[in-house]
Every structure is written in structure tokens, then in C-alpha cells.
Amino acid sequence: MDEIAAKLSFAMPADVVEQGVFELGQILGASSSRPEKETGRGPDNLWLFDDVGLCLEAKSEKTSNIFKGEAAQLVLSLEWCREHVDAPEKGICPVFVSNATIADRAEDISFGPMLMSEELVFDLLRKLRQVILGLSFDGPLFTDPATVGKAYNANGLGGKQIISRLGRVGV
């Protein structure tokens, strides 16, 4: 977890942060992938949980507002997800992984992107660490998938629970 946390500092280069987001998705129990890296198209990261999907565009090292081109990139990534992800009943949530909280213009974000800040990323890691410590206290004999799922949900680490904690991009 410490290795993943080191990759998730938004001061790191984009490829490092994207790899950290990929690994975080895996340990959160999502089917995590990097479509853009794997296929040359799609989002930086894609997390698919049992109940929802997150189309993630990482904008690390960002000190200015989210601009039109970045918003357009997320729209294209969301469209890619709709065409290539075989789980439309889940719904795919467009998400900027960034500390930039403001867009240049309201029309750029009219599609409703959400925001996963560095603070939220590290809070997810903190909660995950609590789950792991709690499960290890019970010992491997008592750790089955149902117990792990309950612990994740009890700590707000389910897909819909994570989405409910995402911020909104403002203008």
C-alpha cells in the first residue's frame, strides 16, 4: 500500500499517477484497467465494480483550471466506455482525478463530470488500511470474500459509496 501511495502524489508525472490509480482500483476490488495505455483509446483508467463503473481521466501536476480540451477528452473517454464496456446497466461515471476543482466555462462540464481529489484518494487508502488491519486481526481462517465485502462496505469502499464521496467540478 505504501508503494501505491507513493505513486498517487499528484506532483508525480502523469504515467506514475495513472499506474497508482490502476493499482488502487485493483485493491479496492474493482476490475481496473488502463484502456488508453492498452489500446491507444479510452480513459486513463477504468474501474468496474459490481454496481457501477468509473471512467477516470487523471490530471496530475495541474495548477490551472480544467479547460475545454481536457473536458472534451473526458467526454470522448466516456463515449469509448459506452461503446466498449459490456455493462450498461451499471452506469459509467465520468471522473477527473485532479486537484483542479474549477472549469474555465460551464458548458465545458455540462455532461456532469465528478472529481476525485488527492485528499479523497489518500482517504480511500487510509480506510483500506483500516480494513486490512481489521481483517488480519481476525486471521486468515475467518477471511472469506463475504467478510471482505462487508468490511469494504462498512468502510465506504464500495463502488457507489466511492461515487457518493466524489466532488463536483465548479465554474
- Going by their DSSP bridges, the two strands 114-116 and 167-168 should be labelled as antiparallel
Q: Is the pLDDT of residue 5 over 90?
A: yes
Q: Is the pLDDT of residue 156 over 70?
A: yes
pLDDT in tens, 59-73: 987 778 899 999 999
Q: Is the pLDDT of residue 141 over 80?
A: no
Q: What is the pTM of this model?
A: 0.92
Confidence of residue 137 (pLDDT cuts 50, 70, 90): confident
CA 131 to chain centroid:
19
Q: How is residue 43 written as a grid cell?
A: 480513459
At residue 98, what are phi and psi to the nearest 5 degrees?
-165, 160
Higher-scoring residue by pLDDT: 54, 149: 54
Residues with Cβ within 8 Å of residue 76, at least 6 apart in sequence: none
Task: Determine the average pLDDT of the residues in 136-150.
Answer: 79
Domains in the chain, CATH or no CATH each:
2-117+159-168 (3.40.91.30)
Q: Is the pLDDT of residue 88 over 90?
A: no
The mean of the pLDDT values for the chain is 91
Q: Which amino acid is residue 65, in one-letter code?
A: N
Q: How is residue 126 written as a grid cell?
A: 487510509
